[in-house]
Amino acid sequence: MRGPQGTLYGANALAGLINMKSNKPTDVFEGHIETSIADYETRTTSAVLSGPISDNLGYRLAVQGHRSDGYIDNEFLNRKDTSNIDELTARGKLHWRVSDRLQLNFTGFYVDADNGYDAFSLDNTRNTLSDQPGHDRQESTAFAVESIWQATEQFEVVGLVSYADSNLDYSYDEDWSFAAICDDRPCEGWAYSSFDRYQRSRYNGTLDLKLVSSEAGRLFNGASDWVLGIYYRRQNESLLREYTYADGDFTSDFDTRNRAVYGQLDTRLSDRLKLVSGARIEFRRADYLDSEGVRHNTSERLWGGRLALEYSLTPETLFYGLVSRGYKAGGVNSNPELDSDARDFDTEYMWNIETGIKGDWLDRTLQVQLALFYQMRRDMQVKQSLVKPIDGDLCPCSFIDTFDNASKGRNYGLELMFDWLAMDDVQVYGSLGLLRATYQDFESFSHVDADPENNVAVDLDGREQAHAPSYQFSLGVEVALTGQMSAALEMEGKQQFYLSPRHNARSNRYELFNARLEYRVQQWDFMLWGRNLTDRDVIVRGFGGFGNDPRNFYQTEPYYQYGEPRMVGATAKYHF
């Protein structure tokens, strides 16, 4: 869903939303078992069972385990699994048709991720020297109950209650090396050792209750479908930070409560013209308290919405234009080393103006979507870092991550997607995104050089926003070789982009090639696949111009983290 989704989804759907829906229980018994093997000791196994328990009760169970050593080699520890992946995911669903008017849907979810974190190398390779690799762990349990009640002939009542409880543990070796790295070297005595760990406990509960019109309940002589809803959400997050260079453990508690009222009207003005109008008013309260005695209490009213016109030129061609407003809630920076006036950051708002066309042409063999957009961002939330020397006046340095607000931001561009059945056995698909995204009236305090005291403001007015490539694209073709075998080749690419407003480091431009060969026989699917076939090094994260290598006396230099190298694997799937 492109653009702000402030009407139905509220805060944090500022620029769009990916709405993922898991499969529902099936009317007949079915299932599958799937297993994959790939490079770097990667193993994935999953299983699904689905079917009816009785005439009015159905179930679906899905379980997946995924393990991999990862593609980082720790040369100091002589290990290949310090950035390993070890994840278990399970989901269960029950759909119960209580009566002709009432349906209840139950969902349970569990995830256990015990992953390693050892990402940065002093040599800008995938070979690290960390003596204390970190972790990226999460254990979450969640459930939801949805009720759909046909209260009257005019509308149905849809209610959703959900709850999620998560424990998260993130840690990393801050020096990226080992204590004796400078032994018998000119830099002897320069090295430091530091470890940082963040443990979070988070629970989130929501209640969403809405009335949805039926055909008999349309307003204005049957011209307008409508939705009217209320929403409540509460989230609490407790943090424990253990840091080598801190005087003691740091703790904080952040509690937020959101209440909202929203509604939408879809009004057919004529056979070809439809008006979509919606609005949401949200009241948010946030309370923060930490072990340093810092307390922040905020209360604010937020609003978003949209107004759109859709014109059907033909049954296969739709033109549209819209204006929408979204928002992203403010928050609190929990680092105790920040000044009190830098602890909180404001809510961001965005106006979006968009027009486009959607088509289903050439006897429904070609689907096209084209969107042109212009977005104005106010109080734009931007991640920043302040630099503090660990010991003395020179680096090695500690980086204090914060969120700040730029006065404005401006984004404009286009998005194109197409899917074309060129011949009965050839399908071509792809996408193109062109983007110009810049900061307006913003001074960053994060640009630093060898002097850690040089946290001077740098004017970024007109500079490109981080992670905003001027173009990105994908292009793929799938060919049915026989009735049982198919092959696909895909290409994707991006222009280089700034990795952060905190420095001038950029990613590299890249083009990646992916391919798969699939064979289907009876109840079996077999697939050979490969990603990044040319083994291109892709920069996904980086730091520009700070010193962390004692071997060169902490001279400033850029450091990069690379994405997945070439990965080749095989998958087998059995349906029953």
Per-residue pLDDT, 452: 42
Residue 54 β-bridge partners: 57
Output 533 or 192, whichever has higher pLDDT: 533
Tokens 């979810």 -> residue? 109
Q: Give the pair of three-digit tokens for residue 107.
A: 């969902």
Distance CA 142, CA 547 (A): 42
CA–CA separation, 482 and 542 (whole Å): 46
Residues forming a β-bridge with 112: 88, 139
Residue type for position 551 = R
From the number of C-beta atoms within 10 Å of its C-beta (0-12, 13-18, 19+), residue 496 rates as middle
pTM: 0.89
pLDDT digits (tens, 9 = 90+) for 462-500: 999 999 999 999 999 999 999 999 999 999 999 999 998
Task: Kindly state the tokens that stand for 279.
Answer: 């609005």
Backbone torsions φ then ψ of 294, nearest 5 degrees: -80, 130
What local confidence, expressed as pLDDT, does residue 19 receive? 86
Kindly report, residue by residue over 77-116, the tens digit of the pLDDT. 999 999 999 999 999 999 999 999 999 999 999 999 999 9
Whether the CB-CB separation of 238 and 256 falls below 8 Å is answered with no
pLDDT digits over 134-174, tens only? 999 999 999 999 999 999 999 999 999 999 999 999 999 99
Q: Would you give the DSSP letter of residue 220? A: H
Specify the range with the lowest mean pLDDT, choosing from 14-18, 137-141, 379-383, 427-431.
14-18
**pLDDT, position 448:** 45
Chain Cα centroid distance, residue 488 = 27
User: In this predicted model, what pLDDT tens digit does every residue of 33-70 receive, in sequence order?
Assistant: 999 999 999 999 999 999 999 999 999 999 999 999 99
Instruction: Check: CB of residue 514 under 8 Å from CB of residue 538.
Output: no
Judge contact between 407 and 438, C-beta under 8 A. no
CA 396 to chain centre: 32
**Residue 447 pLDDT:** 47
Q: Give the tokens for residue 480.
A: 């049915």
Query: CB under 8 Å to 171, separation ≥6 — which residues?
Result: 117, 134, 135, 195, 196, 197, 198
The average confidence (pLDDT) of the chain is 92
Contact yes or no for 562/532 (Cβ under 8 A): no
* pLDDT surpassing 80 at residue 449: no
C-alpha to C-alpha distance for 323 and 326, rounded to whole angstroms: 10
Is the separation of the CB atoms in 535 and 558 below 8 Å? no
The H or E element that residue 482 is part of is none
Annotate 18-48 with b (16+ C-beta within 10 A) or e (fewer).
eeeeeeebbeeeebbebebebbbebebebeb
